[in-house]
Amino acid sequence: MSDEKSYTTEEIAKLLRISKLTVYDLIKKGELPAYRVGRQMRVDASDLEAYKVKAKGEYKQHPAAELPSAGAQLTATKQTGTARDIIISGQDVSLDMLASHLRKQDKDYRPLRSYVGSINSLIAMYAGEADIVSTHLFDGDTGEYNVPYVRSILSGHRYIIVNLLSRWAGFYVQAGNPKEIHAWTDLLKPGIRMVNREKGSGARTLIEEEFRLHAIKGCDVTGYECEEANHLAVAGTVARKEADVGIGIEKASRMVGVDFLPLVRERYDLVILKNEENEKLISHVLEILQSHLFQKELEAIGGYELTHTGKIMYETW
């Protein structure tokens, strides 16, 4: 058995002074060999050194006298049109479509996808590790979506919130709803098993807020500790009769064949920081969202309400 040292993605990011998302991108492209240990990705020290050697070899050396100034380097980058990596964070397929349109519209951008939940996406944006993030976070006190959370997490930043789409969120139940689940308090019935979403996701936030408003304790609900990472996995758990109820979006219910009981039409928004670097990006995103072509593609998927698509819902000044 080899005793070779290995590194986590977090350690690689610190060693190379890059973001974890960039590390994942290198792994995905095969430039940095990695393997999984449980839920954690690891990179052997020898593979890291091999990557560094290769990267150095691809860097063209110039005599010191010929090195341009920092200002000249910045100008050269703009002139050569080096593509800027744009991290689009969130899980809905509409974000993959947005990435595709953005890639076609402007070759100066290289859209990359990060499939994490709403709260973790906003935290990544605060840390400078995401450029466009999606949110569907329900605030039980105001009945409002997204704005209260964005204000709290992005405190001190300037940003714009623009609507991508709206969609129904509700209960997944087995065909015919044999356990007669219609309201949040029904999750307290004897024999009812739920399947939860992971912490930080928009669906989990909806669950926690509704539990709070209905005075439901998670410890009193069977299955509360059972978590899945996306809507399809939750619906699939109900379809396999491993749980009686889960919470998610309507589209996933049709894909796996469970009944769907709508509860709330959630607003699915995009957040982009307002700064000089993002001025053109914001313009392009608004143009894409408001375009007939993009909206027709969303309509073709089904299950989306597009009345406010491309509308600015909130922005700081």
Q: How many CB atoms lie within 10 A of CB 56?
A: 9
Cβ atoms of 33 and 43 within 8 Å: the answer is yes
Distance CA 298, CA 302 (A): 7
Q: Which residues contact 188 (CB under 8 A, 6 or more apart)?
A: 216, 220, 221
Low-confidence ranges of the chain (pLDDT < 70): 1-3, 19, 21, 38-39, 56-81
Reference 166, options 307, 23, 317; nearest CA is 307
Q: What's the predicted TM-score (pTM) here?
A: 0.74
For 80-128, what is each residue's pLDDT tens digit?
A: 458 899 999 999 999 999 999 999 998 999 999 999 999 999 999 999 9
How many Cα atoms within 13 Å fall on the side-chain side of residue 116? 20
Q: What's the one-letter identity of residue 175?
A: A
Q: Is 146 left (phi over 0), alpha (psi -120 to 50) or beta?
A: left
Distance of alpha carbon 123 from alpha carbon 142, whole angstroms? 22
